[in-house]
A and B are shown apart, each in its own frame.
Chain A
């Protein structure tokens, strides 16, 4: 079983839709959960991070972590064509060196 699993998509939605992106993981030691956005041929850009379980909201973005199910989600409200990118989940245990494990990324297309 992979440490982090993420459906690569692609996911295509109309402008204004609510987007739901998800990852599952197997390592119960993970405590830090991040979502990155990556445009083509660019470096990942941190969108949101959460420590342990719970929800976090930032503008149109909401991150959820359910440690009991080993499942994390990112919701994008009122999606825009500019949200079209690859979304990477990432997570890390509290090991000092902060080795971060990434999911494969979900490619999102928001159609105008």
Chain B
């Protein structure tokens, strides 16, 4: 069964450093999403992406965040200058065009900022 994969599973970085979180969505999916979940809190929408453009973003997704689909398979989230409060699980999700509510989530990357 096809699945969304994410690398790395755990990333430790120092405050102020740049990190890139990587995702490989399901191959025939065209919509891509990033979410985060701070420990013990709810899942929060960051951004949706379609046709090489951001479709929608939340208030959390400020100028320190960016997304990219550098090739036909990867989808990345870059955090330019990490802060302690960026520590969270980051989930990538993807969906097929006509069923955007049917989002399939990856296992997540745990980001720890020290």
Contacts and interface: CB of A to CB of B under 8 A. Distances in A.
Interface of A: 32, 34, 36, 41-46, 49, 51, 88, 90, 92, 95-105
A45 B104 CA distance: 7
Contact of B43 (A44, A95, A97, A99): A44
Contacts of A101: 45
Nearest to B46: A99
B44 to A, nearest CB: 7
A42 B109 CA distance: 10
B7 interface: no
22 contacts: A36-B105, A41-B108, A42-B107, A43-B93, A43-B106, A43-B108, A46-B102, A51-B101, A88-B42, A90-B43, A92-B101, A97-B50, A97-B55, A97-B56, A98-B33, A98-B100, A98-B101, A98-B103, A99-B56, A100-B103, A102-B45, A105-B43
B101 A99 contact: no
A100 B107 CA distance: 18
A101 B58 CA distance: 10
A46 B104 contact: yes
B101 to A, nearest CB: 4
Given A44-B91, A95-B56, A100 B105 contact: no
B48 interface: yes
B75 interface: no
Contacts of B35: 100
Nearest to B55: A97
B29 to A, nearest CB: 13
A46 B3 CA distance: 13
